[in-house]
A and B are shown apart, each in its own frame.
Chain A
Amino acid sequence: MAEVELRNISKSFDGVFALNNVSMTIPDGAFVVLLGPTGAGKTTTLRMVSGLDKPDRGDVLVNGHSLAGLTPAQRNVAMVFQQYSLYPHLTVYENLAFPLRSPLLKTSEEDIKVKVSRVAETLQIAHKLDNKATALSGGEMQRVSIGRALVRSPELYLMDEPLSSLDAKLRADLRIELKSIQADSGATVLYVTHDQIEAMTMATHVGVLNEGKLIQFGSPREIYEDPVDIYAASRLGQPRINILPADLFGHAPTGATSIGLRPEQIHQGEGQESLVTRVEHLGDQTRLHLSLKDHDLTTVTDAHTQLAAGDIVRISPQNPFFFDAAGDRIH
């Protein structure tokens, strides 16, 4: 049982805010994905919770108890590092056993063996257990790094882009695997990525971070369907949301400077004439690149469309998002 609360966390490095007054409550058993570009403060958030860094201001609470002053070991969290950080002088087996042998857990060697081989099985690295950690490929290192977190059963997992250097198939497998491990154990997970598919498929909650500020926190659907600003709207959705001048289609609400159109918010067949500049057949869908009054936009159309470059398509907005000059949403 671990409900994690970040309360007004601020942290700056050399006078630059890495986190600026971030508050969020992570319910017990939630799978929270932090989304944002490099430098948004995602990793810093994990380090605050883990205890590797101390916040300048604010507090991290687990089940209502402040973690201030506790060492990382005392916090009983497992963390997957982006840089793998496997112990280079140990074998894969010893790496996986390392947290179990800590003075914190003091697991018997038999239990270690059982747990390590189970995790190695899950992560498909059982045949590499006797290898030196340095004699692995990047993907294998990353799996060992994930395994080192999974052998433990902490209340809270912190994962910093754990799937970033895996190939597409393994990434898809492990996405499902991680999600089911989390669902089975009921552990709380705080997960950093900039891959929106990971966010959409795994998260119960998504936190959108930008320049150290938490822009929006909610379920993936909520953020997709009801973004608070242009930035949050741009984080999710493939192809990306089209941001265009608000009056392109006429009748914009007062104060609106931009209109945001996701592919499903673009109705095809009536409205303004736009020129098809490119057609991309992706198999399950087809992407249309359109040009409307010198503005480029991208949308999705029927997989078996007969449209080709040079054709004219009529489009009109359907329940679009409007944003003001600062980028905030206008309802």
Chain B
Amino acid sequence: MSFSVTEPTIRTKWFAGTAVILYAVITILPLMWIVATGFKSPADSIAYPPKVVFEPTLEGYVNLFTTRTRLAEGDMAALPPAETWYEKIVRDQGQIISGPSRYGERFLNSVIIGFGSTVLCMVLGTAAAYAFSRFRVPLKDDLLFFILSTRMMPPIAVAIPIFLMFRQLGLNDTHLGMILLYTAVNLSLSVWLLKGFIDEIPVEYEEAALIDGYTRFQAFYKVVLPQAATGIASTAIFCLIFAWNEYAFAVLLTSGTAQTAPPFIPTIIGVGGKDWPAVAAGATIFLVPVMVFTILLRKHLLRGITFGAVRK
């Protein structure tokens, strides 16, 4: 079998282009669906066949952030005119705003727990990876295997022992509990990924720094960390995405104060039937932080994913 090294023909280019576009459409379509549904009216959101062209409304977003009560038509008429645009949207549905929804709190919980566990995971993971990479750790290979073995089953398989443990320790429905849990789940991934990155940094740099008058920790901080930044950034993205999207543990272990957005979003129930636009709006907003974080660290991510292939 021989491989062509000539310029691809127009037909191959067309074929490749079509394949890429098709794949992009397949991946992006559900996302577009969610984003579009967020701007539909409840009636449009469940219309069949689905409406591609519709009149956009912010109803879903307003409903997402508010709790509302239905009023009789007579009582509605007796009210003073609506003062804000969102009050008007709610009244058009025959409802009035009775207070803010819990979406804001849940979203904030997701931010605290997601980023908290990512930071903790990076600190512990980098330290552990550095130790495994540089020092003669007794039973190093066994320990590394043991750390990885926590990934050999779906984390949810240990849900019941963790639930019981958390109840005993009073960690149920606390931010700390969730941060610790997500850190524990992610740590094996971060130790392994980061060890690979740190292994690639020649030890001579630190030795030079040690000779140049720095302590081991300063050498780590001033010489190793800047060079491991790429690896740390891409590992952080993976950790954040896991913690941010985690659903099963969140359903099981949080219900009130520490509840994250994923278990909350499906519970958004409108007055009289599921409020799909509000659910879709919640999901859309939920996408934003990870997207921003990923775009910020984008240039590191590509290298992170292909790190095995670009070894110098």
Contacts and interface: CB of A to CB of B under 8 A. Distances in A.
Q: Which has the most chain B C-beta neighbours within 10 Å: A50, A78, A102? A: A102
Contacts of B213: 73, 76, 99, 102-105
Place the interface of chain B in its size category: 10 to 19
Contact of B212 (A51, A52, A89, A98): A98
Nearest to A82: B204
Contacts of A104: 213-214
Interface string B194-230: 0000000010110111111111101000010011000
Given A83-B202, A85-B207, A99 B212 contact: yes
A79 interface: yes
Contacts of A224: none
A11 interface: no
A148 B205 CA distance: 13
B198 to A, nearest CB: 14
Interface string A218-260: 0000000000000000000000000000000000000000000
Given A85-B202, A87-B223, A88-B227, A73 B207 contact: no
A71 B223 CA distance: 18
B211 A89 contact: no
A72 interface: yes
Nearest to A84: B204
A contact face: mostly helix, strand, loop, or mixed: loop
A105 B213 CA distance: 8
Nearest to B214: A102
A89 B210 contact: no
A159 to B, nearest CB: 12
B208 A85 contact: yes
Given A87-B223, A89-B227, A72 B202 contact: no
Nearest to B201: A88
B208 A103 contact: no
Given A88-B227, A89-B226, A89-B227, A81 B208 contact: yes
Contacts of A103: 213-215, 218
A77 interface: yes
Contacts of B211: 50, 52, 72-73, 77-79, 99
Q: Which has the most chain B C-beta neighbours within 10 Å: A73, A77, A83, A88? A: A73
Contacts of A77: 211
A98 B211 CA distance: 11
Task: Please provide the 7 A-B residue pairs with the shortest distance between their CB atoms, ordered closest to farther.
Answer: A102-B213, A104-B213, A99-B212, A85-B204, A72-B210, A85-B208, A89-B226
15 contacts: A71-B210, A72-B207, A73-B211, A73-B212, A73-B214, A76-B213, A77-B211, A79-B208, A79-B211, A83-B202, A85-B205, A85-B208, A87-B209, A89-B226, A103-B214
Interface of B: 202, 204-205, 207-216, 218, 223, 226-227
Given A52-B207, A72-B211, A99-B213, 12 more contacts: A52-B210, A71-B216, A72-B210, A73-B214, A73-B215, A85-B204, A85-B205, A87-B208, A87-B223, A89-B227, A99-B211, A103-B214
Interface of A: 50-52, 71-73, 76-79, 81, 83, 85, 87-89, 98-99, 102-105, 148
